[in-house]
Amino acid sequence: MPSVDIIVPVYNEQDVLPLFVERIKEVMQDCNVSWRVIFVDDGSSDDSLNQMKDIHEQESRFGYLALSRNFGKEYALTAGLDHASADAAVVIDVDLQDPPELIPDMIAHWHQGYDVVYATRKARHGESLAKKATASWFYRIINSMSKIDIPKDTGDYRLMSRKAYTAVNKLRERNRFMKGLFAWVGFKQKQLYFEREPRAAGETKWNYGKLWRFALDGITSFSYLPLRFATWIGMFVAIFAFLYGAVIIGKTLILGNDVPGYPSLMVVILFLGGIQLTALGIIGEYLGRMFNESKQRPLYLVDEYQPPE
């Protein structure tokens, strides 16, 4: 019988964990596979880890992996996939916004020969218009800047064959954008559509500050176009300054020098200073990521691991 490991990152989700366990058991009992769940506790400060331990004692097929601190969701996903050993792995959030009922369809397509079956949101219930709009813009912007086609409106929810998730595990970069890494490895992929539901319980851990940093990581990990954009702006400003200088010289030769011009001089200086600082900021983002890569620290540290049986 084929085997499936279900990877579930968890961070302060004590309210929704029992609901997730019941839901996943109900879905998987009719699937003709041997399945296990690996919860990855990303340094939760609530009762989530104790709940995972209780769940494991009651149902040995639910294991848990506790990280030494909060590393972030991308690293928790990495830790879970590193500890997967089944014929296929399913990555799913614990908040039940991504319905587990889609897993049987993913397994069916996997049996048909697909290495990656990913879920795309055709509707996002329970989310603000601002979040929907920014998410839509983000996927369109990053695809316009990157050579890798990252599926639009698609999160981490997917099934990957052993071949696919083993390939992802070989990518050990420190600034991790998992959606991009899933797309980068390629293989035969299948898209499924679903309507995303509101959280079953608890509150989202993503605020706009975290989403902004997440977007920067995604763009800088899969595109160097911002650096090229800074170069284009610099060339445009240089050409503009040259032409403006030629106009000033011509005007001075014909009409003489009327000295004033202080306001326009200040505008030009401030404009050029703003462009330079922006370019330095973009370069700094890439240099910071190179600095992180050069330190070669481990991606995460494990405090406790109880494998599922």
- Average pLDDT of 296-307? 84
Assess contact for 105 and 193: CB atoms under 8 A: no
Query: Which residues are CB-contacts of 152 (< 8 A; sequence separation ≥ 6)?
Result: 120, 136, 139, 140, 143
Alpha carbon distance 250, 74 (integer Å): 59
The percent of residues in the chain predicted with pLDDT above 90, rounded, is 2
The confidence score (pLDDT) of residue 226 equals 67
Which H or E element spans position 71?
none
Between residues 145 and 192, which one has the greater pLDDT? 192
17 CB burial (10 A radius; 0-12, 13-18, 19+): buried
The percent of residues in the chain predicted with pLDDT above 70, rounded, is 68
Token reading at 185: 């490895």
Its pTM surpasses 0.75: no
Token reading at 86: 């089944």
User: Domain ranges in the chain?
Assistant: 3-223+299-306, 225-295
Strands 189-196 and 154-161: unpaired
The confidence score (pLDDT) of residue 194 equals 81
Tell me the pLDDT tens digit for each residue of 89-118.
999 888 888 888 888 888 889 888 889 888
pLDDT tier, 260 (very low <50, low <70, confident <90, very high otherwise): low
Between residues 114 and 271, which one has the greater pLDDT? 114
13 CB burial (10 A radius; 0-12, 13-18, 19+): buried
- State the CATH class of domain 3-223+299-306: alpha beta
Tell me the pLDDT tens digit for each residue of 207-255.
556 555 655 665 656 665 666 666 667 667 766 766 666 776 666 666 6
Assess contact for 10 and 17: CB atoms under 8 A: yes
